[in-house]
Amino acid sequence: MTNKDFLDRSYEVFAEVEEEFKGFLDEGLEPRGPEMLYELASGLGIRGGGSALDIGCGEGRHSIALASRFGLRVKGIDPVPRHIELARRDLSARAQADPGVSDAVSFESGRAEAIPAGDASVDLIWCRDVLVHVEELSAAYAEFRRVLAPGGRVLVYQMFCTELMEPREADRLLPTMGCVEANMRPDYAEAAMRTAGLRIDECIVLGTEWGQYGQEHSGKGGRNLLHAARLIQNPDRYIERFGRENYDIALGDCLWHVYRLIGKLSDRVYVLSAADRA
Ligand SMILES: C[S@@+](CC[C@H](N)C(=O)[O-])C[C@H]1O[C@@H](n2cnc3c(N)ncnc32)[C@H](O)[C@@H]1O
């Protein structure tokens, strides 16, 4: 584009619609948010009393929600001892108010690649925001297939890189966030699912939706952007107080959310079942 073309387009043509365009952009697109995972789970036909595994359960919030919303017996597993401790503490704090849920949920140490559950014993595998971290993705999916009961379903939520992510941005961000680069390519992840004997029943590409949702409901994206700007402007201020490692993690975490908001990262939801069963 010549300089004259640019001046004409920006200051003549675009200027005429700019105000109307920005007003139109202020109208939300009704993005879906995290609640959609529960809506999806409720449509999978898993009956109350069935068993669920929350793989990489973190502090156990979703394990407890799966039990209280759907009446499932849920085991949450995670390799980080602090997560299991906090999850158990939260569960016992609920025991008096909600003994049914408290009895239905348990937490134990475990990894996706070696699931502490018997063959064909689980009706719902819930794996939210975990698989980017797993070094042997195919081993994890083989385990999903092994423990899945007849008629069982797998619900995976995971982040992927898009073509907007530049290689140097990925090289900087992914190791800081403990992500395995290959896992963040949809073709690689889908091949691991299929090789393990799982069928992809549904794949929902969320793009920037959860990022928009977070911004519209709590200003999360904008806050991360502002934090990234501060971290970049004055690294020493934060490194002196919290150390280099924590600085890198804080910046990586902010950029993760910003990249999702601008489409360099895109989350997806997969619903899977055993490939050899109708
Ligand atoms: C971003 S957190 C998500 C926690 C929770 N699923 C949620 O959605 O709130 C990622 C979790 O994955 C766990 N994780 C990391 N590597 C794992 C592995 N190999 N197997 C199972 N969980 C793992 C971490 O300990 C952490 O709790």
Residue pointed to by tokens 């939300």: 28
Residue 267 has pLDDT above 60, yes or no: yes
Please work out whether the CB of residue 257 comes within 6 Å of at least one atom of ligand 1.
Answer: no
pLDDT at 260: 97
Please work out whether the CB of residue 136 comes within 6 Å of at least one atom of ligand 1.
Answer: no
Closest ligand 1 atom, residue 133 Cα: 16
Across the chain, mean pLDDT equals: 96
Mutate to test the pocket of ligand 1, among 133, 155, 157, 253 (most ligand atoms within 8 A of CB): 133
pTM metric for this prediction? 0.96
Nearest alpha-carbon partner for 66 in 117, 31, 106: 106
Query: Is 11 or 90 the better-scoring residue by pLDDT?
Result: 90
Please work out whether the CB of residue 83 comes within 6 Å of at least one atom of ligand 1.
Answer: yes
Residue 3 has pLDDT above 60, yes or no: yes
Residue 277 has pLDDT above 90, yes or no: no
Percentage with pLDDT > 70 across the chain: 99
Residue nearest to atom 8 of ligand 1 (CA): 128
Q: How far apart are CA 250 and CA 63, in angstroms?
A: 27
Residues 198-222 have a mean pLDDT of 97
* Helix or strand holding residue 126 (H, E): strand 122-128
Q: How far apart are CA 107 and CA 70, in angstroms?
A: 18
Q: Do 169 and 264 contact (CB within 8 A), yes or no?
A: yes
Residue nearest to atom 25 of ligand 1 (CA): 80
In which region does residue 104 sit, left (phi positive, over 0), alpha (psi from -120 to 50) or beta (all else)? alpha
pLDDT at 188: 98
**Within 10 Å of residue 164's Cβ, how many Cβ atoms?**
12
Please work out whether the CB of residue 56 comes within 6 Å of at least one atom of ligand 1.
Answer: yes
What is residue 43's DSSP assignment?
Answer: T
pLDDT at 278: 56
Domain boundaries 35-158+179-207+265-274, corresponding CATH code: 3.40.50.150
Closest ligand 1 atom, residue 80 Cα: 25
Residue nearest to atom 26 of ligand 1 (CA): 58
Please work out whether the CB of residue 111 comes within 6 Å of at least one atom of ligand 1.
Answer: yes
Residue 40 has pLDDT above 90, yes or no: yes
